[in-house]
Chains A and B, each alone.
Chain A
Amino acid sequence: MPGALARERLEKVRALCRNHGWDALLVYGNAWRCDYLRYVSNFPILEGHGFALIEAEGGLRLFLESPMEAERASIEAPGCEIVCQPGILAVLAAHLEHSRGRRLAAAPMRLMPYGVAGAAGDALEDAGDAFDRLLMQKSELEIDAVRRAARMADAGYEVFRRAARPGRTEYELVADVEAFFRSQGCPDNFMIIGSGGREVRGMHPPGERRLRAGDLVTTELTPCIDGYYAQICRTLVIGPPTVEQNAAFGLYVQSMEAGLAAVRPGATAAEIAWRENDVFRARGLGEYTTNKYTRVRGHGLGLYVDSRPALLEDVDTPLTEGMTIIVHPNTYHPDVGYIVLGDSAVVRSDGPEVLTATPRSLFSVPA
């Protein structure tokens, strides 16, 4: 499956080059922003800088900073010519210098190191928007990978629920989940957590705080299968939920379901966000949908954890069939604290195909 996916994506990139008249495309990646590089080369970079230079009508060359990564690429990125030399940025810059006179595009420009972009001067065209459209629009092979990642997310949340108990630190809880993903052959996950009461305003990497009876414990799990991420957001209570916690959680269920109900080809990212936020506004809680209390109301999913489009009221990107997104009205609630709830979904012609199957409940674990 990964081989077929890689070939499919490479053909799309070559077609993109031909359609824009680019002779070659330069793509940058690192372990944080890995999606552009993975799309082109299928190489899951973990350390240092990586660049892929793809010729519209020719080969694919990987320039890697780390010699260990170069050796790993010889196994994990078959078909790529691998270049790894001391001063790889200067090596690549010299290569680009020799390519003057050809039309060369690059993505993502905002992260392109100065040693490369500065040497190329104005010769590099920004391929970002065109490339982002490739990243957003998934094929059925890509959707299948996201679907499998969603099943992994559901299984991971089961482990999270079992691991959450009073006295355990946040980082011990996360350790159990990460070890579970590894045991299932899942090599990557993005995960943040929050625990406590009304004082909690968001999620963060795990700290040393110990869980206590009455805590709301929030998490978003984002496991990766064949390079594709799916996400789930859920909230649990240590001990029985209070009346206030249950009432507050009901609002998030309504909000997420209102957002999902609006998911269809042609709807904009803004429309989804509006539907989610209207539920809060109707209860006089509109303030809690602003960036003072929350970041986004969902986002795209794919080869990156937090892809375009961001679900925000000022983002007019239209949804198209085959996009994969998460709808999550995560925000602070003034009565009980920070609550999260989110499901991954595919945009289908007749509405959303929801990929995550964990019940939309405020879970309770023994205190």
Chain B
Amino acid sequence: MRRGLMAWSQQEIPAGVLEKRVAALVAGMRARGLACVLAYTDLTRPAAVSALTHFIPYWSNGVLVVSPSAGATLVVTLSGRVAEWIRSTSRLDDLVNTLDLGTGVAERISTTEKGAIRVGIVELSSFPSSVVAAIRKLHPAIEFEDATDLLNAALAQEGLRTDVVAARTIAIARVALAAGAAEAGGRDANAVVAAAEGTARREGAEEILLAVAPDAVADPRLRRIEGAALLGDAFALQVSVAYKGCWLRIGRTLSSGALPPWIAETDAWFERLVSEIATGAPPNVAIPTALTRLPGATLDSWRAETARAGLALAVVAGSAPFSSERPLPVAPITLTLRLRRGKGWWFSAAPFVFARARSPA
């Protein structure tokens, strides 16, 4: 629910990159014979529309209508009074403010296309059914199909990555984690998360989610902190940060006193593993191999996360359930590992960017 700095810097994400992404999507829809492609957005599923226009709603929801004739039109349930703000944070060809999202989208389609048409929808299964129903009401002959692969292909074009944003997001996450860790001695979980939160937002984070395992020896599961919570000798802190639409996580096992040697040793081991994966080693091979270098360690779980069509952070590989849908090729990867070593649990999460766009799976 919280929203921090929301602003568009064309130095970080040039309008030309966004225009080329939309043009690549239009080329794909032409080849497939689609009249238009729709992508849904709200603050929980902003990735597709953010990648095409830089727009992220701080509240409410919207649908991006991309068509060969009209380009990128945002239909949004935010008031017309914030139209200026929307335009200042987005590259759009047109903007429609409406009280009824379904009708607004349906009418937008009717103004550009007539008759029986095929419409692609990014993440069709996640798209609000009420919008589908409103479109069908106005266009009974319309046919829908999933267009997630078209978006992925459009974003995979060479030269359209924005690594500067990923690098800035990683930098913010690191200083936020360090600020939280610096408060560990007081054993107050709220002091730790407050330091991480304030630091991330002062650095320009658009959003931050914080999770803590207060006593990592007894229970490694991460949770929100609400009310008072005391930290044990060892605890885990995970910081999930968004900056200009780019999401990633960072996390570590920390100590309220001096860091035990086994945690420091495992941290160093993980740093090497991340480096190997970032330079091309497949994680499902690299992780078992690396474990042979860490005596007494038992792997509990691992996962790789990145943006998927609509979702800013989705598990795309790992030991936990993950989606078979392809990740967006423009986002950084977060590798998270949890293992048991001797008496305690150890957890870490590290973000990285591949040297060349590829999937971690």
Contact = CB atoms under 8 A, between A and B. Distances in A.
Contact of A48 (B44, B210, B322): B44
B236 to A, nearest CB: 12
Interface residues of A, number: 69
Interface of B: 1-7, 42-45, 58-59, 61, 79, 81-82, 84-85, 124-130, 132, 190-191, 193-195, 197-198, 201-202, 204, 209-211, 221-229, 303, 311, 313-315, 320-324
A262 interface: no
Contacts of B227: 185
A225 B211 CA distance: 17
A33 B44 CA distance: 9
Contact of A113 (B7, B129, B204, B323): B129
Nearest to A34: B1
Contacts of A190: 1-2, 59
Contacts of A117: 129
Contacts of B7: 207-208
Contacts of B225: 185, 187
A30 B195 contact: no
A175 B126 contact: no
A295 B44 CA distance: 23
A208 B206 CA distance: 12
Contacts of A295: 79, 81
Contact of A118 (B132, B210, B303): B132
A110 B130 contact: yes
B322 A67 contact: yes
B201 A178 contact: yes
B125 A184 contact: no
B198 A48 contact: no
B5 A191 contact: no
> Shortest 8 CB-CB distances between A and B: which pairs?
A115-B125, A179-B198, A175-B201, A117-B129, A183-B194, A171-B5, A182-B194, A67-B320
Interface in A241-293: 291-293
Given A175-B4, A185-B226, A187-B225, A31 B44 contact: yes
B209 A118 contact: no
Interface stretch (A197-205, A321-329, A350-358): A197-205
Contact of B197 (A74, A182, A224): A182
Contacts of B228: 185
A182 B210 contact: yes
B130 A206 contact: no
A205 B3 contact: yes
A130 interface: no
A175 B198 contact: yes
Contact of B58 (A110, A115, A205): A205
A85 interface: yes
Given A47-B311, A118-B129, A175-B197, 14 more contacts: A46-B209, A48-B311, A68-B222, A72-B224, A87-B323, A109-B129, A112-B128, A114-B126, A171-B204, A174-B201, A190-B2, A192-B58, A204-B58, A208-B5
Given A113-B127, A179-B194, A179-B195, A87 B4 contact: no
Given A48-B311, A72-B223, A182-B197, A171 B4 contact: yes
Nearest to A225: B226
Contacts of B6: 204-207
A206 B204 CA distance: 10
Nearest to A45: B44
12 contacts: A30-B42, A46-B224, A110-B128, A114-B132, A116-B129, A175-B197, A175-B201, A182-B193, A182-B198, A183-B191, A201-B81, A202-B79
A171 B43 CA distance: 18
Contact of B303 (A67, A72, A187): A67
Contacts of A114: 124-129, 132
A305 B193 CA distance: 23
B4 A183 contact: no
A109 B320 CA distance: 30
Interface string A110-127: 111111111000000000
A305 B1 contact: yes
A180 B195 CA distance: 9
A23 interface: no
B323 A86 contact: yes
A188 interface: yes
B89 to A, nearest CB: 9
A75 B221 contact: yes
A309 B42 CA distance: 22
Contacts of B59: 32, 190
A206 to B, nearest CB: 6
Given A115-B124, A179-B197, A86 B324 contact: yes
Contacts of A184: 190
Contact of A67 (B129, B226, B315): B315
A185 B222 contact: no
Contact of A84 (B5, B124, B224, B321): B321
Contacts of A185: 190, 225-229
Contacts of B209: 46-47
Contacts of A113: 125-129
Contacts of A115: 124-126
A291 B197 contact: no
A132 interface: no
Nearest to B79: A295
A30 B223 contact: no
A55 interface: no
Nearest to B84: A201
Contacts of A12: none
A87 B315 CA distance: 12
A44 B128 CA distance: 21
A31 B303 contact: no
B4 A206 contact: yes
Nearest to A75: B223
A144 interface: no
A8 interface: no
Nearest to A106: B129
B224 A179 contact: no
Nearest to B193: A182
A31 B222 CA distance: 17
A201 B85 CA distance: 11
Contacts of A84: 321
Interface in A12-47: 30-33, 44, 46-47
A135 B80 CA distance: 28
A71 interface: yes
